[in-house]
Structure 1
């Protein structure tokens, strides 16, 4: 064998050995992202998290970041390091592949376009939207559903005993902060009892507590009116009523919707504040079986302060059916309230139970409302 040929063979052999040594030393094998890209779900121990690592040179280093069991993450690539397979979940962020399984979207039930949810959280705020059902999952960046808004439901799932609604592609909200319903009719009269703020408990300035009682009694339990009026949150409690419910002494305004909703939870946690709801949303709530308490005008007032609470209990052909507690009896008709004191009908002495067209309602309603799930 000539000298040149021997040198070539020796060079090739040394290159092979060097390559083998590099493989054994580093133990790394990168796989292109296109070969493994998928949505992965952390599969570990419920309530616990897996560690995220960084790849540095020939090994891995722990980071402070953790991924909670059940959460979803995009997998961009994989590589083997010292015999352990890792998945890349973005940038230099790697997790052990044994704790990631391919996420398979659940079957979504067929919906007929008649199911809705209305956000019932807190006035002026919105609720977060998740990319998948479950509190540990990734939020939809920058998307919040404002209080009082209504959204069509396209899917529903149970996760850890809690109901989640899909309101758009990969957009999920928890049932805790929404009021669900399905519209199956174009008109409805709900079986909400009429309750007077004059009898059996005489509270001329107690419309809020009385209207709240109607709302709660619709679903239960039956509340004691005396207890309701005696314990109504009062000023200076935040949002409390200013002025005695029995005598009117010091009256300035009724309890606001936030304080009244919180007060209602003493009897029923399903009462929700839907302040911000527009008229269409209120109509949908009523059509899906949810009476609505709103703040409007009384038959006695001459100002434009919305210091009176009433309850919408029905809808038909562009009209709301309303219970006004400011009468002695459910049979009291138009003109039997404030007209007798004012000497004229201010436009809101319509009787204990009456129909109001949406145009008139829109003039009275300014956005403060409550309902019950």
Structure 2
């Protein structure tokens, strides 16, 4: 089979783990692990990658690129060197087969949607309001300052990246514009929009401190990347 000369796109990884000190003989032969034309998936450490080499031989050269954990690649050729399987991914691009599994790995299940779950939060609280406008959130995530940890445990993406449609959680005592979140329970709100130019978010919220406890009470606040966001 004619091998593809198309280069793989560069994949950035934090570090390479456990790739040093591998010795190989110069004798090689075809083997039948994954076959040419099949797919292998990198099975390493989440957040890290495996090295891409120019050859399966002992004097091979690192190509300066890594393939991330969980990514799947088509195999063009298979060889063993000193009993270890190597896969060719097109051209002079080889990976060590011991860091892969045959086939394409299924994606992790998505975070649960709690839209059919009744609103169990106390009437007039910030948590009650957010559950009304974002029904996909859980009804038992605790106080506003606990929502990030609760959502993360369920598989939601939780970070400091502002985005419209996300839920924003404020730590206990954290500034929310010109006032502070409760010093014990924190605060939670719904993000209507994000302005990247001046790093502000416009939120809607509820709470007993507002004239309309069940909301919507709209507010635009700065320093948007200082807060915790839960993404659906």
Same fold (TM over 0.5): no
Give the TM-score, by structure 1 length. 0.29
Higher relative contact order (CA 8 A, sep 6+): 2
Higher helix share: 1
